């Protein structure tokens, strides 16, 4: 436990013993969707019904950054955020995290970002990727863009111009790629992004919707990027470490997946070497943590204590309200990811939760004007 956090918790416990004000027992949660707001209200009702100490209030934020601002100015206390949002909250708003999701019940690791290639591709190295071809799950995604492009910037393989134009830098670096969404108006409003960012894309069965940022592009997403490599349309696919096993042994019935053998693939490691696909813990571009609850620094302990009581009551319920289930809320991962096993207390700062490898790749994009 870091010394400052320890002092804060000691102060909190002292206040608890002498009696805290009603205001200090209220946690105001900032929700960014109607589903999240409804689940928050349901949780608040169950907290009251079960006589759990503390009170939960729910406010609707317009966006994650709106919630960051609300937490900073004190009109909200907590919000669940993705790792890249956590980074923004810390750098731009001076916020921290109280608890984070654990998907294995042990630590905060959500997944590893790896670089997959065919063994038949010959001499491939992550330190010599210029003019090679690449397959990405999608533009502006953590796995398909932030981590691999951040790695290439940090290893001085990609140079970004003064306008901080990452698509042009990526297009100039790779020979050709499939980056679904690269030519969508949302990501290319002026139509200036390089064409070669879409040259490894194949669209649908009728050769339409090529390079769109949705499943109509058959090289979209984790499985699509793997397919792109399996079909020899790209040298390397940037995917989660789980992608191979989720598409093998009959789990994916498409012909390209049925023909795929584990021994046909290898991972490219950051040191320039290669490794079998099972060695992701030692051969990866970054470790991406789970989502976490963003708070003001002085509220780390207060929010943790409240969520610990909530977790004890609702984390493993099979009947009634379930903290880590989104059934009935019209979308997955509401408030917390459905795959969460438990919430872990974050003893250090937000950077300790994000970890050094992920924090480093995010820093490569600061020229885009994070704040």
pTM equals: 0.88
Rounded CA-CA distance 91/187 in Å is: 24
What CATH number should be reported for the domain holding residue 59?
3.40.190.10
Rounded CA-CA distance 304/152 in Å is: 37
Please, what is the angle between helix 300-314 and helix 3-18, to 10°? 70
Final residue belonging to a domain, choices 287, 310, 340? 287
- Are 344 and 215 in the same domain? no
Going from the C-alpha of 298 to that of each of 1, 193, 295, the distances in angstroms are: 15, 44, 8
Expressed as residue numbers, the domain containing 171 is 109-287
Asked whether residue 52 is domain-assigned, the answer is yes
pLDDT in tens, 178-189: 999 999 999 999
Asked whether residue 362 is domain-assigned, the answer is no
Between β-strands 236-240 and 109-118, what pairing exists: parallel, antiparallel or unpaired?
A: antiparallel
Rounded CA-CA distance 187/201 in Å is: 17
pLDDT in tens, 139-155: 999 999 999 999 999 99
Q: How many CA atoms lie within 13 A of 72 on its CB side?
A: 14
- Are 40 and 121 in the same domain? no
Rounded CA-CA distance 120/115 in Å is: 15
- Are 155 and 227 in the same domain? yes
Rounded CA-CA distance 85/354 in Å is: 11
Rounded CA-CA distance 101/110 in Å is: 8
Mean of pLDDT values over 298-324: 93
Token code pair at residue 184: 């969508």
% of the chain with per-residue pLDDT over 90: 84
Task: Tell me: pLDDT of 308 over 60.
Answer: yes
Q: Total structural domains in the chain?
A: 2
More confident residue, 8 or 82: 82
pLDDT in tens, 163-177: 899 999 999 999 999
Task: Tell me: pLDDT of 306 over 70.
Answer: yes
More confident residue, 371 or 151: 151
For tokens 């050094």, name the residue: 356
- Are 120 and 256 in the same domain? yes
Token code pair at residue 208: 């339409």
């Amino acid at each position: 436990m870091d010394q400052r956090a320890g002092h804060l918790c000691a102060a909190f416990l002292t206040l608890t013993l002498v009696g805290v004000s009603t205001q200090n027992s209220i946690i105001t949660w900032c929700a960014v969707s109607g589903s999240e707001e409804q689940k928050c209200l349901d949780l608040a009702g169950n907290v009251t019904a079960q006589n759990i100490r503390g009170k939960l209030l729910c406010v609707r934020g317009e966006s994650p950054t709106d919630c960051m601002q609300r937490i900073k100015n004190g009109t909200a206390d907590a919000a669940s955020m993705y790792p890249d949002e956590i980074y923004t909250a810390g750098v731009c708003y001076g916020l921290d995290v109280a608890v984070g999701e654990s998907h294995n019940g042990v630590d905060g690791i959500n997944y590893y970002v790896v670089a997959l290639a065919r063994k038949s591709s010959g001499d491939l190295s992550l330190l010599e990727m210029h003019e090679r071809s690449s397959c990405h799950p999608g533009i502006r995604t953590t796995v398909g863009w932030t981590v691999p492009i951040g790695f290439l910037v940090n290893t001085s393989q990609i140079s970004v111009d003064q306008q901080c134009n990452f698509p042009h830098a990526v297009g100039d670096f790779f020979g050709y790629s499939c980056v679904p969404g690269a030519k969508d108006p949302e990501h290319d409003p002026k139509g200036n992004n390089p064409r070669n960012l879409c040259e490894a894309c194949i669209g649908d069965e009728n050769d339409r919707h090529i390079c769109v940022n949705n499943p109509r592009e058959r090289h979209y997403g984790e499985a699509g990027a793997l397919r792109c490599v399996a079909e020899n349309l790209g040298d390397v696919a940037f995917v989660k470490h789980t992608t191979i096993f989720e598409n093998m042994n009959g789990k994916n019935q498409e012909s390209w997946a049925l023909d795929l053998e584990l021994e046909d693939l290898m991972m490219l490691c950051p040191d320039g070497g290669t490794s079998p696909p099972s060695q992701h813990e030692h051969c990866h571009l970054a470790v991406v943590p789970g989502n976490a609850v963003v708070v003001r620094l002085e509220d780390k302990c207060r929010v943790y204590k409240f969520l610990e009581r909530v977790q004890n009551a609702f984390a493993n319920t099979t009947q009634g309200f379930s903290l880590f289930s989104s059934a009935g809320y019209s979308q997955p991962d509401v408030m917390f990811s459905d795959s969460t096993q438990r919430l872990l207390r974050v003893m250090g700062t937000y950077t300790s939760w994000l970890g050094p490898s992920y924090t480093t790749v995010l820093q490569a994009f600061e020229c885009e004007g994070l704040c």
